[in-house]
Every structure is written in C-alpha cells, then in structure tokens.
Amino acid sequence: KVCYTNLPTVDLSPLLSLCVFDDGAASPDHAAPTPPFRWMPATAALALALTNNPGEVLDMPVDPNEPTYCLCQQVSYGEMVACDNRDCPIEWFHFSCVAQHSQNESPAKENDETQEEKARLLDRKIEELKLRICDLRGIKDVSELDIEADLKRWREVLHEYNKVKDACQFLLGQLAHIKMTTVKDLYRHFGLDVND
C-alpha cells in the first residue's frame, strides 16, 4: 500500500491570540499580558499545546467550514495518510488513528513463525549441500574434510598451471621470432584462443 503524507492545513486563526502561562498551560485570554503570561506566535503555541496536551488542541473551536477527515471526523492535524483507493470516501486519515508507522521508522518485524520457518529451510539446504559434498568426495561425513589441505592443494595446482603457461608463452615467443611472425598469428595457426 502507498502512504502519502500531508502537512497540516489547519486554520490557525483561533490561535492568534492564544496566551500561554509560563508553566505551559494554555488559556485563550484576550487581556493584555501580565507577568505570568507571555505572547507567542500561533505556530509555537500549537506546537507547545501538542506536546503538552494534544487533547486540548482538538477541543479548540474549529471553523465550521474546515473540512474533517479520518474515521474520527476531526480536522487535519499532525501527519496524515492518503488512501490509495480511488473510491475511498474519506481520502485522508490521521497516522495515530490508523496505527500507521512513518516511512522513516523501521518496518514491522515479521512474526516468529516465519523467521523460524526460514531458519529451518536454510538448515535443511545446508544439510543437503553437505551430503552432496560427501557423495562427490566419497566420504562419510563432512567433518572428514580438511579445508586447509584442500586449499593448499589447489594453490599448488594453480602455481603449476601458471609455470606451464609461462613456459608455453616463452616458447611461442621464440617460435614467432624464428618464423618472423607474431604470437597472435601462431595462436591462429595452432587453433588456440588468444585468451588462453
């Protein structure tokens, strides 16, 4: 499902004259501020009210023409989620009402049964691969394998191959010099691939 977020489009005009006590309690008092009060911008008052008591913000008077959203039939506030169904009559929902998580948050964890099933499947595949290795090597158990010895043996084979290849390159170079041709032409003459 697709999640869209919308910045709040709440009409902040009722908060323009919001007066806030120094202890953070809000009061819509229109009188001139006295020492226990301080004036603040409407957006700051809204932010303070949301952090101190979000219920008070929802209980504030709302313009009757302000559209309502969500199943709770409240005005737009906070983060909103758009419904991706074209026939949805509501269109916008509050994150808090539909228990959505922001895309910036970590995704929900899979349930334990799914994780356990994946672990069992991986263990089964590992056992199958071990059995296949045993069949190919002609041994009874994987513990009989000596990984370090195998690596040493394959390194030695690779070194021998490189020595033989270097000797062949030297001989082809000498032959090309004697025949007054190029090594590339000799490769074609002997049916060799240049990348060999």
Q: List the structure tokens of 75.
A: 């005005």
Q: What is the pLDDT of residues 113-138, one digit of tens each?
A: 788 889 999 999 998 988 888 888 88
Lowest mean pLDDT, pick from 12-16, 83-87, 126-130, 171-175: 12-16
Q: Is the pLDDT of residue 156 over 90?
A: yes
Distances (CA, A) of 195 to 13, 159, 165, 192: 78, 18, 12, 9
What average pLDDT does the chain have? 71
pTM over the 0.85 mark: no
What residues does each domain of the chain span?
13-98, 112-145, 146-196
The pLDDT, as a whole number, for residue 171 is: 94
Nearest to 82 by CA among 67, 98, 66: 98
- In whole angstroms, what is the distance from residue 172 CA to residue 77 CA? 81
- In whole angstroms, what is the distance from residue 14 CA to residue 147 CA? 76
The pLDDT, as a whole number, for residue 37 is: 39
Is the domain 13-98 a CATH 3.40.50.720 member?
A: no
Q: What is the pLDDT of residues 45-64, one digit of tens each?
A: 455 455 555 555 555 566 67
- In whole angstroms, what is the distance from residue 127 CA to residue 146 CA? 18
